[in-house]
Structure 1
Amino acid sequence: MHFDPHNEKLLIKMVRSHGIEDLAFLFILNVVCVAIPGLSNGIFCVLNGILYGPAIGFGINWVGDVIGQFVLMQLLRKLYNPDKLKHSKIYTLLMSAEGYQQIGLIFGYMIPFIPSATVSYANLLINKTRKKRLIPILIGTIPFAYLYAYGGDSILHLDGQRLIKAGIAIIVIALLAISFVVVTRKFKKHKK
């Protein structure tokens, strides 16, 4: 009601007074939401930013995303034959970008509206070793892990400028991904 700097500090202190149990619970929820196809972990990632700030929230989001993607890949390997995905549009698009498949996978993990199960399938097919599979996950999950935590922290601080910056960053990442897809398709047409 009376939002001044002193009350803001009290609100932040009150909201961020959580123990390790809460952190572990949110971390597990984040991993589970990433590992189950069709679920979104976005709400928990924003909540991590609100409850723990941008730095710790980013760490929880990023590590949770990486572990969740690995759990998802293991589930996909056990439940389905990855070779059946060789006809999917994402896989054929990535394979047409010879020498740039890793960059394509990074963009695939970066963009939240691309199903992570499909990107994980493609990662399984393209990269044969665990280390190679890990690289696009580690890099691709960084931007949104940070943006969600930063956005959550901005919501708590009621900072409109920071929210606008986060929105602009999301648009820039989406435009980069779209331009990668367009360039890849042009390479594919040029090869034919």
Structure 2
Amino acid sequence: MKKLRIRRRTAIYVTSILGVVLVSVLLYIFFLEHSAQFMQFFDPDKDKLLLMRTFRDRSPKDALLLILLTALTSAVPALSSSVICIFNGVCFGPFLGLLLNITGNTLGNSLVAGFFRKFSDEREPDHKHKRPNRLFERLAHFKNKMLALILGYMIPIIPSSLVNYFGAKSKISSKKQLLCIIIGVIPTSFLYAYGGEAIFNGNVVRLGVSILCVVVLGAAGIEFYRKHRHEKK
């Protein structure tokens, strides 16, 4: 079991470093290909309306690249996919941006969940440290593990790596965990896609409504979480 922990810790460090390097390379490629277009936004003599229209002229190659970036930034613990998800809404609009966000976040979390399943040991206790993780404990108190996973993915303050680890330890099937990931990432994916669209168009009302909807949903989820966290003792 000790060797397994060392292997897992080493694998996490190596994959995290590789993930950061790969994200940096992909970002460099993306901005290099569109550098002239980006720089035009800082030119006061350019027609801003025309620039905004041409900015939305993205290819399937760009969509694939942004999906990969979303997946990697959601998978690597040291990174956050929020900026990329907002950029998806800016580049592709609210509907396609939402699909890109859901696809990328689902792919990234699925990869991490599969990693923990591969390196998990059933004999290993849920808490490796003397001071157990309180968020893990609260997730473990849920009798319905699928609900715990959905709320874990839905609430931004809970690290997705912790939720993926909890999914591996709770012995939920990979298909059920995939369903939980998809449902759980929808609210934040919606916020970032529609928020990016609102920022792009300067639509303060849509931005406010998008934020309000997700805040209400998140608050409801947190309240439900508090009421049921001691359901299983």
Superposition TM-score, scaled by structure 2 size: 0.71
Partner of 1:144: 188
Partner of 2:222: 178
Partner of 1:161: 205
CA contact (8 A) 2:195 2:210 kept: yes
Counterpart among 22, 30, 33 of residue 70 in structure 2? 30
SS in 1 for 2:126: helix
Q: 1:127 to 1:88 in 2, by over 3 A?
A: same
Q: Identity across aligned pairs (percent)?
A: 31
SS in 2 for 1:85: coil
Pairing 1:88-99 to 2, within 5 Å after superposition: 88-98=133-143
User: 1: distance between equivalents of 2:158 and 2:228?
Assistant: 16
Partner of 1:74: 114
CA contact (8 A) 1:97 1:184 kept: yes
Letter of the 1:154 partner, please give it: A
- How far 1:80 sits from its partner (Å)? 5.5
> Which residues of structure 1 form unaligned runs of 5+?
1-6
Partner of 2:173: 129
Partner of 2:126: 85
Q: 1:21 to 1:114 in 2, by over 3 A?
A: same
2:154 is the counterpart of 1:110: yes
User: 1: distance between equivalents of 2:170 and 2:121?
Assistant: 14
User: 2: distance between equivalents of 1:146 and 1:177?
Assistant: 16
Letter of the 1:146 partner, please give it: F
Q: 1:81 to 1:127 in 2, by over 3 A?
A: closer
User: 1: distance between equivalents of 2:212 and 2:202?
Assistant: 17
User: 2: distance between equivalents of 1:185 and 1:63?
Assistant: 30
User: Whose helix fraction is larger, Structure 1's or Structure 2's?
Assistant: 1
- How far 1:158 sits from its partner (Å)? 0.3
CA contact (8 A) 1:53 1:149 kept: yes
- How far 1:187 sits from its partner (Å)? 3.8
Higher relative contact order (CA 8 A, sep 6+): 1
| Per-residue Cα deviation, 1:97-143 (whole angstroms, up to 9, x for no partner) | 22x32112111101122100000111112243211111211110111
CA contact (8 A) 1:90 1:119 kept: no
- Structure 1 outlier segments of 4+, above 4 Å: 78-82
- How far 1:78 sits from its partner (Å)? 4.2
CA contact (8 A) 1:45 1:57 kept: yes
- How far 1:79 sits from its partner (Å)? 4.9
Counterpart among 16, 30, 53 of residue 13 in structure 1? 53
User: 2: distance between equivalents of 1:49 and 1:128?
Assistant: 32
Aligned residues: 183
- How far 1:68 sits from its partner (Å)? 0.5
Superposition TM-score, scaled by structure 1 size: 0.84
User: 2: distance between equivalents of 1:78 and 1:130?
Assistant: 12
